[in-house]
Amino acid sequence: MPSITERMASLFRGKEEVKNIERFSTSAQEALRKRGYLIYQLQGKSLKELHKQTGQPTFKGMVLQKLVSDDRVWVKLNAPPILRWGFGIFATEAAINPNQLFLPNSADKSFKYHQGMVRTFSQEISNEIPDVKAVIGEASHYVELALMYRVTTGRSLFGEGNEFRFTATRTSYGKPYEESESYEKQSLVKVGEDSDGIRCFEYYLGTWGNYNTWIIPLIVPVGVPD
């Protein structure tokens, strides 16, 4: 039976066959790498596909198991929100800075606050590097990044040096996220890593579920949907 690393490495096979992928310009790639960013090609795989291919992410509780078994899940790509079966998402190149993975002072904040932090950061980095921006990714974006980071470096993206923090995502569970609706009635998915592997958790916005929830901005080409 192939090891987990071998199964994760299979994510790289055939990646050049991905069509309609958003890519950084050559100048943007050079500028990002000079600033310590690592660039990965996200293939737009769903959580269900990633779980089937690699055994990751792992889940805790029946509710979270539905993330790979129940297709009635929403993600917000554009307004109005659209239903994407099984968390299918767009393919893009994305950059992360492993030396400053999470935005400072983003712990235990509301999703609306995280959105504002990422908008500010996006403006700052786009002033430095034209044609890029920062976004909050979907749950499957962060899972795929963690898998690829493990394969390319042999290290844990969330664990070693990052205190096993979780990142909020823009993936809402059960129905689309709406800013106007009471937080107590909404839940999102956060992604992190522990001794059991890469984990996805549902958390309610109006409860202690924000605990240890930070935000990782994804640097992407400017053409990627907000």
Instruction: Tell me the pairing of strands 218-221 and 132-135.
Output: antiparallel
Q: Select the more confidently predicted residue: 71 or 93.
A: 93
Number of domains in the chain: 1
Determine the structural domain holding residue 26 and report its residue range: 4-221
pLDDT value, residue 154: 86
Give the mean model confidence (pLDDT) for residues 82-90.
44
Burial class (CB in 10 A: 0-12, 13-18, 19+), 105: exposed
* Best CA proximity match to 190, nearest among 150, 151, 154, 136: 136
Q: Quick one: average pLDDT of 38-53?
A: 83
127 occurs within a structural domain: yes
Indicate whether 41 pLDDT > 80.
Answer: yes
Does residue 167 form part of some domain?
yes
* Residue 18 confidence (pLDDT): 59
pLDDT of residue 91: 83
Q: Is the pLDDT of residue 127 over 80?
A: yes
Q: Classify residue 226: in a domain, yes or no.
A: no
pLDDT tens per residue, range 178-207: 555 555 566 778 888 877 778 888 777 655
User: What rounded mean pLDDT belongs to the chain?
Assistant: 76
Number of H helices, E strands in the chain: 6, 11
Is residue 4 scored above 90 in pLDDT?
no
Residue 60 is assigned to a structural domain of this protein:
yes
The mean per-residue pLDDT over the stretch 26-32 comes to 97
pLDDT on residue 185: 60
Helices (H), the chain: 4-9, 26-34, 47-54, 62-69, 111-128, 139-153
